[in-house]
Amino acid sequence: MIKFILNNQSVETALPKGTTVLDFVRYHKNLKGTKIGCREGDCGACTILVGELAGEKLKYRTMTSCLMPISNADGKHIVTVEGINRDDGGLTPVQSAMVETSGTQCGFCTVGFVMSLTNFCIDDTPKTNEAAISAIDGNICRCTGYKSIERAALSLCGTAARRNGDAEIHSAIGNEIVPEYFANIKERLSEILNSRFQIANSSNRNPEPGIQNPKFLSGGTDLYVQRPEEMVYADTENLFDSAALRFINETDEFIELGASVVVTDLLESDVFNRLFPNLYKHLKLVSSTPIRNMATLAGNFVNASPIGDMTAWFLALDAEIELSDARSSTRTLPLKDFYLGYKQLAKREDEFISKIRFRKDFTHFNFEKVCKRTYLDIASVNTAISLKMSGDVIEHAHVSAGGVFATPLYLRKTSEFLKGKEISAETIAQANEIIQTEISPIPDVRGSAEYKRLLLRQLFTAHFVELFKANIQ
Amino acid sequence: MKNVDSKSHVRGESVYLDDVPLLQGTLFACVYDSPIAHGKLKNVDISEAEKADGVVRVITAKDLIGENQIGGILPDEPLLADEEVHFCGMPVALVLAETEEQAHAAAKLIKAEIDPLEIVTDEREAQAKNELIAPPKHFRLGDAEKAFATCEHVFEGRADVNGQEHLYIETQGAYTIPTEQGGLKIYSSTQGPTAVQRAVSRVTAIPMHQIEVDVTRLGGGFGGKEDQANAWSALCAVATQLTKKPVKYALHRMEDMRMTGKRHPYSADYRIGLDKDLKIVAYQAKFYQNAGAACDLSLPVLERTLFHCTNSYFIPNVSATAYSCKTNLPPNTAFRGFGGPQGMFVIESAIAHAAEKLGVSKNEIQRKNLIRSGDEFPYGQIAESEAEASWTQADQQYDFAKLQAEADEFNTQNKFVKKGIALMPICFGISFTKTPMNQARSLVHVYTDGSVAVSTGAVEMGQGVNTKIAQVAAKIFSQPIERIKVHTTNTLRIANTSPTAASAAADLNGRATQMACETILERLKAVAQEMLKDGAYRVESSNGNAAGKPSEGGTQSGVSFENGFVFYNGEPTSLDWLLVVNEAYNSRVNLSEHAHYATQGINFDWSIAKGHPFAYHVYGTAIVGVTVDCLRGIYEVDYVKCCHDFGTSMNTSVDFGQIEGGIVQGLGWMTMEEVFYDSDGRLRSNALSTYKIPDVYSVPKEIAILPLETSRENLAVFNSKAVGEPPLMYGIGAYFAIREAVKAFNKQNFVKFDAPFTPEKVLMNLYSEISG
């Protein structure tokens, strides 16, 4: 039985656990404020807030309910617009701002924006103009041209920053961003989780050794796009909420990550911000806020899309992955050896990625991505590079590229070539020649083969312009 | 004055099609559509689908009781494929099941046996094969052939411009309910309730008076739900007719994208001739419109391309020909601008071509040829022009020369980042070019509590038409806006409506509402006059002296309503709105009115392609600045600054919203939005993951809007000119601004006129020596 809090109501449901939260709230709970725009996480009309206990802290993030199975809502607080509406028919400051700036025209996308901006007002990020706009980076509007919505978002920075010394949620209640009932959610979620813990212990449940070919599900951001109908009834083992898979550790040599770490976890990680000075700028290029809140690293790896952004990223770190199965036997292999062919993985069906690790001995890292739309789009070509420099000499290099081969591509020859070289226009040009021999792009909706070849040449060059202000005249 | 729907929008309480509460027993529909773009339909095997869980019935063409035809202009569009399929996505069968999920699952079990025929997706290829929707159309002014001979400079070339997916965030849909004695009630997400009513009547053979179509609002339309909403209502109606059950179909996004038509792609050949002073003397254009597999609205779209083929320029010798080419793509349709933007793109390309070859700036040619009052458009209408005024006022406000100098300076300082600037004047005619459509009706009821209900033929889709109509009633009755409710658009209350299109809904329906309200007001004034006569409501003058009472037999001209109170000869009385309304009721005076408005003075004669088709034109001038990252081939729009002709805006928050939204939609069309069909006619840009519209980061950093100062009268409601479509065309400037930036980096290359200017085209043009 899946149990969670929907707005101010505790709900239990025996519906198929793959049912999307979107269908659940609209068609089973008749909460029609959450709209269906695309069912693939690309429009944000169905954006909801998801509150989750992380230790002592209740943390809210936005998610697109169209890609979220109710099983991933288990033990959480799911908030739709009905859950933030004032009972007296009045407007919250977020709603008022949208009205005052004429940020709503046809209204169909509006609730998604309201939810995203509400989250902006209750989360613990600094209330900068940049963060306000960033909060709505997953919401598409076809009517307004966004300028009015921008004005609404910017006008909220002041309100959102008012803290009165309280914890976020109490400040938000004080500011009338959310209703009073939010004050008790933390306790109510604890109760659900505690009862869950007792059941789990009393039933003496062990992993069934006989299970063959279990299907694993984490954030759902690829599976629910690719096969939404099948996923409703799929018998999946959900990895998304497994605490054992949600960690970022630093050792002397390595960074180790649980496989269900989501992209936002990286953004919020001190370690990552230290190791990757342009982390925000680069991860902003990866999908949108709600998707980054759901999309796990392992999910990106096993999806094996030739243009997976995080795959390109970790290939350039020469990361290793640990694969586990139900018997908890594990093995480790380099990510670059994980890809055998188009959507073919060096993985048994009963194995799942449990851990990711990479050496932190690189001195330089860069990520480049170009698509039709700079943000919230899939790359035409992406590429990442990590370098360990010793003075002017490249001690080692790892270069990856996406969108130019049947799999995410680690550029072996190019990486090898760069070893021991000094950075110069000539080195870059020679490396670019090698790259062209390592790739075989195919034409598709994201560009012709010639374009992808040219684009990778440019983006590889861009790495050096970004990292070394290389003169490429 | 904010949009009257704002509060329910932000609370998520506004009702759209998919939010309508369902009746028990409602069935869910799903279309099986052709996987092949062209072929003979030999057989449709529905046997497996019929046996599937929850399936109640599967409908094919042979089940239709009425005519299998929904073509509004030409009868060339079967509702369900019968003998042939003409495009990928053409509906072949309709599954009805107890749940939406079951309907979708069963539709996958249908198999069609199709003998493939040749697939044509390219408009020029279709024209070469004489596959035309109708004979070509021509516009002529002067004698272009002769004039070219006198020109100092003549240039010719080709311009291509792709289509555009509407991407209303609410997909198409319909919900049909059987009513007693064989009637139907239809909820539809449509811009044209009457078009739906007609289409449903045709396919069911149920007369129109038995069919009620009701529209609360749309989650965006942009032209995409003008005629293309008909099919979904017609399918559901057929299903309801056959099963006697309510039937609902709200399309999934990918169904919507692959089954519905879009803005028309065009290819064009142009020839432009200038004299030594850069005056355009002659212009010739051939337009090849990609109509898709059926007419839909392609012909009027084609006509508007001709109407706007010279944009806001006066050219004394024009010869323009337009072909509507039949291809195996979904029938393309109305989209904000309705063919006008494509016509403008081609003349702007021709001017850019001339400027580049002559080594002058494009805006010098633009400026010299702006149409002036008294000049003749190629279709015979005489201009009352604001072209010069909008250009001059924009220049004064924004200083074109300074912006250009800043960009030039930036470009000399930066090798791998370049700025480009382009000016984009616009001139857009307001009225349906099919003159009979320029009519509207409004039904106004004043209730005995003083509240007012208004119904018109206008459909609210975010453009704020209901807000403007409410303002009209509020202003005339001098009542607060809260007292006015603009109700759903319903074919029983308002019959024979024109679609909400052509930017004209507020004009037509607003004027009809104005007339209805004024008629009721006159009656109320007469009642007030009577009430004042007996002295019961003492008339007090502001100086404390009694102002007397109306004389016997006097007219009511002295009576007025202000802020809800009756004034007599400008002096307040104690008589208020509510008292007068109630006295009117008690005196058996009619508190309702159904008014009819038809635009005066417009006409067009297609036999000579001349006339006065537009009530007025909307003018404006925008300057667009972009920055191109020449390393990566990506770009940002720095600003769009315009001087726009609102006439006198009756609602600046609504109208400015239309400008901002229109500009961004136009930018999207010119930059990242790429409709992509493969050679088999399959849509590859078939989802939001592959078809990109602007997000919050891709909009201009600055949009500045300067209302044109003008005192010219016009035929718009309260002088507030139509605003829906014109601003989209400012976006065309972005194409030419990017082109300027690309040229600043790669001076050798002549950039082909081929919109949209995707990052791919930018990079390939920046490095043309490598990319070939």
Q: Dump pLDDT digits (tens) for B420-469.
A: 999 999 999 999 999 999 999 999 999 999 999 999 999 999 999 999 99
**Relative orientation angle of helices B759-766 and A449-468, to the nearest 10 degrees:** 80
Could you report the predicted ipTM of this complex, rounded to two decimals?
0.97
The encoded tokens of residue B440 equal: 């509207």
Do the domain assignments include residue A200? no
In-domain check, residue A434: yes
Please name the residues between 168 and 197 in chain B that touch chain A, using a CB distance below 8 Å: 168-171
CA distance to partner chain A, nearest, from residue B164 (Å): 13
Interacting residues of B478 by C-beta distance below 8 A, sequence separation 6+: B561, B562, B563, B564, B577
Q: Do A35 and B694 touch (CB under 8 A)?
A: no
Set of chain A residues whose Cβ sits within 8 Å of the Cβ of B689: 40, 42, 225, 378
| Least Cα separation, residue B591 to chain A (angstroms) | 32
Q: Considering chain A, what percentage of its residues have pLDDT values greater than 90? A: 85
Q: Is residue A198 part of a domain?
A: no
- Take residue A398 and report the two structure tokens written for it: 């790892």
Which among A32, A106, A461 has CB closest to B220?
Answer: A106
Q: What is the band of A211 on the pLDDT scale with cuts at 50, 70, 90?
A: very low
Q: Which domains does chain B have, with CATH numbers?
A: 6-118+166-259 (3.90.1170.50), 266-433+608-771 (3.30.365.10), 439-598 (3.30.365.10)
Tell whether A210 is covered by a domain: no
**pLDDT single digits (tens) B144-186:** 999 999 999 999 999 999 999 999 999 999 999 999 999 999 9
- Please check whether residue A150 touches B, CB under 8 A: yes
Tens digits of residue pLDDT in B617-650: 999 999 999 999 999 999 999 999 999 999 999 9
Strand-pair partners of B30: B95
User: Are B242 and B205 contacting, i.e. CB atoms less than 8 angstroms apart?
Assistant: no
CB of B585 within 8 Å of a chain A CB? The answer is no
Residue where one domain finishes, among candidates A359, A393, A414 = A359
pLDDT at A353: 96
Please enumerate, as own/partner, the contacts of B764-768 that have beta carbons within 8 Å and a separation of 24 or more.
B764/A450, B764/A451, B764/A454, B764/B633, B766/B628, B766/B630, B766/B633, B766/B742, B767/A454, B767/A458
- Answer whether residue A213 shows pLDDT above 60: no
Which of B169, B220, B690 has its CB closest to that of A445? B690
Instruction: Count A/B contacts: CB-CB distance under 8 Å.
Output: 236
| Contact (Cβ atoms closer than 8 angstroms) between residue A439 and residue A401 | yes
Q: DSSP for A242-304?
A: -GGG--EEE-SSEEEEETT-BHHHHHT-HHHHHH-TTHHHHHTTSS-HHHHTT-BHHHHHHH-
- Between helices A110-122 and A147-161, what is the axis angle to 10°? 30
CB contact under 8 A, B170 and A108: yes
Residue percentage of chain B with pLDDT more than 70: 97
Contact criterion met (CB < 8 Å) for B218 and A106: yes
Q: Which of A190, A206, A231 is the last residue of a domain?
A: A190
Q: How close is the nearest chain B Cα to the Cα of A442, in Å?
A: 14
C-alpha distances (whole Å) from B653 to each of A100, A104, B498, B657, B719 are 10, 11, 26, 6, 16
**What is the reported pLDDT for B546?**
52
CATH code of the domain covering residue A288: 3.30.465.10
DSSP state of A128: -
pLDDT band at A205 (very low <50, low <70, confident <90, very high): very low
Active-site annotation holder among B725, B740, B760, B769? B725
Band (pLDDT 50/70/90 cuts) for residue B710 is: confident
Of the pLDDT bands very low, low, confident and very high (cuts 50, 70, 90), residue A203 is very low
User: Is A40 within the bounds of a domain?
Assistant: yes
For residue A205, is it within any domain? no
Query: If you average pLDDT over residues B734-751, what whole number do you get?
Result: 96
A-chain CB neighbours of B167 within 8 Å are 142
Q: Let me know if B725 is a catalytic residue.
A: yes
- Is it the case that residue A293 has pLDDT exceeding 60? yes
DSSP at B370? B
Amino acid identity, position B712? R
Please list every residue in chain B whose beta carbon sits closer than 8 Å to the beta carbon of residue A105.
3, 462-464, 657, 661
Residue B719: is its pLDDT beyond 90? Answer: yes
| Of A25-39, A226-240, B99-113, B173-187, the least confident | A226-240
- The answer as to whether A195 is a domain residue is no
The stretch B549-574 carries a mean pLDDT of 80
Nearest CA in chain B to A380: B760
Residue A207 lies in a domain: no
Give residue A206's pLDDT.
40
Q: Which domain holds residue A39?
A: 2-190
pLDDT value of position B538: 73
Which of A301, A326, A359 corresponds to the end of one domain?
Answer: A359
A16 plus A109 within the same structural domain: yes
Chain B positions in Cβ-Cβ contact with residue A149 (cut-off 8 Å): 696
Tell whether A306 and A337 lie within a shared domain.
Answer: yes
Residues A162 and A36 in one domain: yes
Cβ within 8 Å, pair B6-A447: no
Residues A273 and A410 reside in one and the same domain: no
Question: What pLDDT, on a 0 to 100 scale, did the predictor assign at position B213?
Answer: 98
Is a pLDDT exceeding 60 seen at residue A74? yes
The reply to whether A221 and A186 lie within a common domain is: no
Residues A56 and A162 in one domain: yes
Q: What is the dihedral of CA B221, B223, B224, B225, to 10 degrees?
A: 70
Q: Rounded to whole angstroms, what are the CA distances from B272 to A274, B313, B342, B383, B750?
A: 60, 13, 17, 22, 17
Note whether A141 and A258 are same-domain residues: no
Q: Is B596 on the interface with A (CB under 8 A)?
A: no
Average pLDDT over residues A289-312: 97
For chain B, say whether A450 makes contact (Cβ under 8 Å). Answer: yes
| CA B31 vs CA A280, B218, B285, B439: distances in Å | 44, 22, 41, 35
- Residue B550, number of CB atoms within 10 A of its CB: 20
Distance, CA of B170 to CA of B220 (rounded, Å)? 6
Q: Which residues of A touch B6 (CB under 8 A)?
A: 98-99, 102, 104
Tell me the pLDDT tens digit for each residue of B180-195: 999 999 999 999 999 9
Predicted local distance difference test score (pLDDT) of residue A209 = 41
Long-range contacts of A415-424 (CB under 8 A, 24+ apart): A418/A387, A418/A394, A419/A394, A419/A395, A420/A393, A420/A394, A420/A395, A421/A393, A421/A394, A422/A392, A422/A393, A422/A394, A423/A392, A423/A394, A423/A464, A423/A468, A423/A470, A424/A470
Q: Could you tell me if A246 and A258 are in contact, meaning their C-beta atoms sit under 8 angstroms apart?
A: yes
Which of B749 and B243 is assigned the larger pLDDT?
B243
Considering the domain architecture, whether residues A355 and A413 belong to the same structural domain is answered as no
Cβ-proximal residues to B214 (8 Å cutoff; 6+ apart), any chain: B185, B186, B187, B188, B193, B488, B489, B490, B491
Task: Say whether both A449 and A383 belong to one domain.
Answer: yes
Mutate to test the interface with B, among A91, A373, A377 (most CBs of B within 10 A): A373
Q: Which residues of chain B are within 8 Å of residue A150 when distances are taken between CB atoms?
A: 696
By three-state DSSP, how is residue B250 classified? Answer: strand
Q: Give the global pTM.
A: 0.97
**Shared domain check, A156 and A8:** yes
Q: Is A85 on the interface with B (CB under 8 A)?
A: yes
Do A345 and A383 lie in one domain? The reply is no
User: Containing H/E element for B413?
Assistant: helix B400-413
CATH code of the domain containing A415: 3.30.390.50
Whether A372 and B462 lie within 8 Å, measured CB to CB? no
pLDDT on residue A195: 85
Q: How confident is the model at residue A204 (pLDDT cuts 50, 70, 90)?
A: very low
Give the mean pLDDT of A309-321.
Answer: 98
CA distances from A395 to A191, A390, A435 (A): 54, 6, 19
**pLDDT reported for residue B377:** 98
The structural domain count of chain A equals: 3
B164 at the A interface (CB within 8 A)? no
Same structural domain, A383 and A417: yes
